[in-house]
Structure 1
Amino acid sequence: MYSGMLIVLLPLALGYCIPCRSQSIVHFINVAVARMVYLILFLMGISLAFVDNLSTHLGTIFTVCLVFLGCITLCNLAGLWLLDVRRGRVEGERGAPALSKWSLLLDSARLCLVIIGGLLVGQWLDPQWFAVDTLSEWALMLLLLLIGIQLRNSGMRLRQILLNRWGLAIALVVMVSSWVGGLAGAWLLDMPASHGLAFASGNGWYSLSGILIGDQLGPVLGSAAFLNDLARELVAILIIPALMRRHPSCAIGYGGATAMDFTLPVLQRSGGVTIVPVAIVSGFVLSLAGPVLILGFLSLSSGG
């Protein structure tokens, strides 16, 4: 348990302690993070290839993914809808023309193709000499170090976060409603409650949830976690424009941690620039909480 938490939290904390004032270096880090995500997903595909009788597990992967996606989506949207009702109708400024959904969906399709590529390459590798677990661990630590630097240099300060009550409220509602959905999914699948809570804590951060859950519970459930959070991102892209005008909390919150990066352009174009600080605060809080919550819940099932 403790070694797993150290692997995640130590590089994240170290990265967050590194200030960076050079825009060229920040740009390089942003590009490196994108490339590292592809590498980790490729290694996840290789891990899947090493699973005995993989074809018999595909049904499990998609069943787990769909059940958790359905339960978490329903609970998220219900909780965020109640938040909007409590806040009253909030009119944002008119956004810019919508981004092409096809281009965004194509980006997500590439991620799936990377995993499939790793799966195909893994058929030709010998698990006895190709230490995919060790490589994934080192790649994850490097990714988290870079993400920590990104978070430190994202422009968000503690004062800005604490003063944005709407963004904090969205993050809290997403976390709690996701846990409810995760518990419901675990009950339907006859899984330990702690596993359901871990699945629910990814909040759309597919590369992180997939590799952390895969490391603790195996590549089959790790792949299910990846697909669950990736599908959440795809659904967010599709529903944000429709929800933004009448239910802005639903539009901002459903994307989870991606509200501060991947889905942020869609949110800005649908709701205007006034939505951006709220989305960044919500995504920032969920990004910081994700690895801690996932590892914390997984440690409950490991018995310490």
Structure 2
Amino acid sequence: MYFGILIALVPLSLGYLIKLKDKKKIARINQILSWMVYFILFIMGTELAHLDNLSTNLQTILFYTMIVFICTFGGNFIFLILFDLFLPWKTTHNNQTFESRFKMILESLRVCIALIIGFIVGLIPLFIWQYTENIIQVVLVFLLLLIGIQLRGNNISLKQILLNKVGIATTIIVTFSTFLGGIIAALILEQPIRVGLGMSSGFGWYSLSGILMTEAHGPIIGSATFLNDILRELLAIILIPSLIKRYKLTALGLCGATSMDFTLPMLQKGAGITIVPSAIVQGFLLTILMPIVMTLFNYGMQ
């Protein structure tokens, strides 16, 4: 239990202690992280290729994904819409066009291509596949170390977080409704509550959630978790233009952890610069929270 928690928290904490001021080095770390995302998904694809009764397991993965996504994303949407209706966030910004939305969707789909390529390569009998578990652990530690450095590089102080009420509010609502959805999904799927909570707590961070859940519960649960989080990102991109004018808090909350990076340009384009601090705070808090709670659900509730 303690090893599983330490393997997630220690490298993340060590990385956060490293403060880089050189913008070129920070940009290099961001680039390495992008490459690692595709490598991780490639490895997940090879693990899928080695499953017994593959067609049956793929149906199970898709069914799990559908249930978890409906319960978590649907729960987020309901609670955020209610929040928007009772406490609307008014800004004075004219919405801009979203001509790049299709391009962003295509970029999200590229991660699925990496998974498919890994699956195809995994069908080839190679001796290296016996070391997949060890490779995953090494990559996970390195990934979390770099993420810690990246988070520190955003220069977000505790004061900035505490003063941003909108970012904190959406984070609390998203977290609460996601966990509630995870519990409901676990009951429907007849899985332990901790598994449902773990599958739901990726908050859209598919590159890490997939590998953490694969490490803890195997490729079926890990793949369903990954698909759930990639669907969150894709649907958030699709819905932002429709929601951002009237339901800004909903548009922000649905982005989850991606609000500080991938979906931030669309949020800014639709709501203006006023939404940026809240989006960064929400993304930062969920990014910090995600590996902690997912690891605790996987190893601390047994």
Q: TM-score, normalised by structure 1?
A: 0.96
Give 1:129 shift. Answer: 5.7
Give 1:185 shift. Answer: 1.0
- Of 129-138 and 255-264, more deviation after overlay is shown by 129-138
Q: Which amino acid is 2:6 matched to? A: L
Query: Could you list the per-position Cα deviations for residues 87-125 of structure 1 after superposition, in whole angstroms to 9, with x for gaps in the alignment?
Result: 235134124431422211111211111011111111113
- Say if 2:77 and 2:254, in contact at 8 Å, map to a contact too: yes
- Say if 1:168 and 1:282, in contact at 8 Å, map to a contact too: yes
Within a 5 Å distance, the mapping from 1:127-146 to structure 2 comes to 130-146=130-146
Distance 1:129 1:180, change over 3 A: closer
Which residue of structure 2 aligns with residue 65 of structure 1?
Answer: 65
Q: Which amino acid is 2:14 matched to? A: L
Superposed CA RMSD? 1.4
Which residue of structure 2 aligns with residue 261 of structure 1?
Answer: 261
Which residue of structure 1 aligns with residue 288 of structure 2?
Answer: 288
Which residue of structure 2 aligns with residue 201 of structure 1?
Answer: 201
Looking at structure 2, the residues matched to 129 and 202 of structure 1 have their Cα atoms a distance apart, in angstroms, of: 26
Which residue of structure 2 aligns with residue 229 of structure 1?
Answer: 229
Q: Does 1:122 align with 2:126?
A: no
- Say if 2:62 and 2:224, in contact at 8 Å, map to a contact too: yes
- Of 43-52 and 83-92, more deviation after overlay is shown by 83-92
Give 1:127 shift. Answer: 6.0
Looking at structure 2, the residues matched to 240 and 9 of structure 1 have their Cα atoms a distance apart, in angstroms, of: 32
Give 1:130 shift. Answer: 3.4
Q: Which amino acid is 1:119 matched to? A: F
Distance 1:175 1:127, change over 3 A: farther
- Say if 1:62 and 1:224, in contact at 8 Å, map to a contact too: yes
Give 1:212 shift. Answer: 0.5
Looking at structure 1, the residues matched to 156 and 98 of structure 2 have their Cα atoms a distance apart, in angstroms, of: 26
- Say if 2:95 and 2:269, in contact at 8 Å, map to a contact too: yes
Give 1:216 shift. Answer: 0.7
Q: Which amino acid is 1:83 matched to? A: F
Q: Which amino acid is 2:190 matched to? A: D
Q: Which amino acid is 1:24 matched to? A: K
Looking at structure 1, the residues matched to 275 and 93 of structure 2 have their Cα atoms a distance apart, in angstroms, of: 9
Give 1:169 shift. Answer: 0.5
Give 1:246 shift. Answer: 1.2
Distance 1:189 1:26, change over 3 A: same
Give 1:299 shift. Answer: 2.0
Distance 1:102 1:66, change over 3 A: same
* Identical amino acids, percent of aligned pairs: 43
Ranges in structure 1 where 5+ consecutive residues have no aligned partner: none
Q: Does 1:179 align with 2:179?
A: yes
Looking at structure 1, the residues matched to 219 and 101 of structure 2 have their Cα atoms a distance apart, in angstroms, of: 30
Which residue of structure 1 aligns with residue 218 of structure 2?
Answer: 218
Give the 3-state SS of the residue equivalent to 1:225 in structure 2. Answer: helix
Give 1:85 shift. Answer: 2.7
Distance 1:212 1:104, change over 3 A: same
Within a 5 Å distance, the mapping from 1:1-304 to structure 2 comes to 1-126=1-126, 130-301=130-301, 303=302
Looking at structure 2, the residues matched to 228 and 289 of structure 1 have their Cα atoms a distance apart, in angstroms, of: 18
Ranges in structure 2 where 5+ consecutive residues have no aligned partner: none
